[in-house]
Amino acid sequence: MHAFSDVKRMVVLSDTHGLIRTGVEPELAGADLILHAGDVGSSGVLAWLGRFAPTIAVRGNVDEDRLGLPETEIVSVNGELVYLLHQLERLDLNPRTAGLRLIVSGHSHKASITQSNGVCFCNPGSIGPRRFRLPITLVSFTLGAGAWTGTLRELIIPPAPDSGRVEIRANFIVQLPRGEAGP
């Protein structure tokens, strides 16, 4: 398990498929931690992300074993447990009894945020190649005492394929009260 304390900003992304989008650099700048939910595509993507903040990633269905990524990862962020995996359908534990506050997954390229029984489920969508006419998205969390505020951001892509700007598309607040996880 990786443990990080004093994290004020965390960026969650997925499904880069080997594509580095320089348009997300302003979003990555100032991050204390980056979580990647798989389909990384190349070690170059991880090296690039690592220039901005410590980066934890898991293996997606298109990632090769040579990347050495685990299928799942538990990360302690400011004392709260985050579970990282690529396909939510493969979740093989009870998040609440495991004491998890946030589950991050990818694969579908569809951004979604839901909350159930005190656990937040976050799919940041994809910042890789556009698929199925879905938007290019990521999630940025601002971490505070007891609550994490997350913002779903969409990258607006102009004609040049490697540039863009990030716009806020939706806001949500994830309440992570201490001591409420468990059976």
Tens digit of each residue's pLDDT (9 = 90 or more) over 14-25: 999 999 888 899
What size, in residues, is the chain? 183
**CA–CA gap between residue 110 and residue 131 (Å, rounded):** 10
Please tell me whether the overall predicted TM-score, pTM, comes out greater than 0.85 for this model.
Answer: yes
Does 172 have pLDDT greater than 80?
Answer: no
* Domain map (residue ranges) of the chain: 2-175
Q: Tokens for 134? A: 């879905």
Distance separating alpha carbons of residues 11 and 58, to the nearest angstrom: 15
Averaged confidence pLDDT in the chain? 87
The arrangement of secondary structure in 2-175, i.e. its CATH architecture, is 4-Layer Sandwich (3.60)
Q: What is the pLDDT of residue 121?
A: 93
According to the model, what pLDDT value does residue 183 have? 36
pLDDT above 90 covers a percentage of the chain that reads 62
DSSP at 25: H
Whether pLDDT at 124 is above 80: yes
179 pLDDT band (50/70/90 cuts)? Answer: very low
Confidence of residue 54 (pLDDT cuts 50, 70, 90): very high
More confident site: 177 or 126: 126
Q: Write down the pLDDT at residue 182.
A: 38
Dump strand ranges (E) for the chain: 2-4, 9-13, 33-36, 55-57, 72-77, 80-85, 100-104, 112-116, 119-123, 136-143, 147-156, 165-175
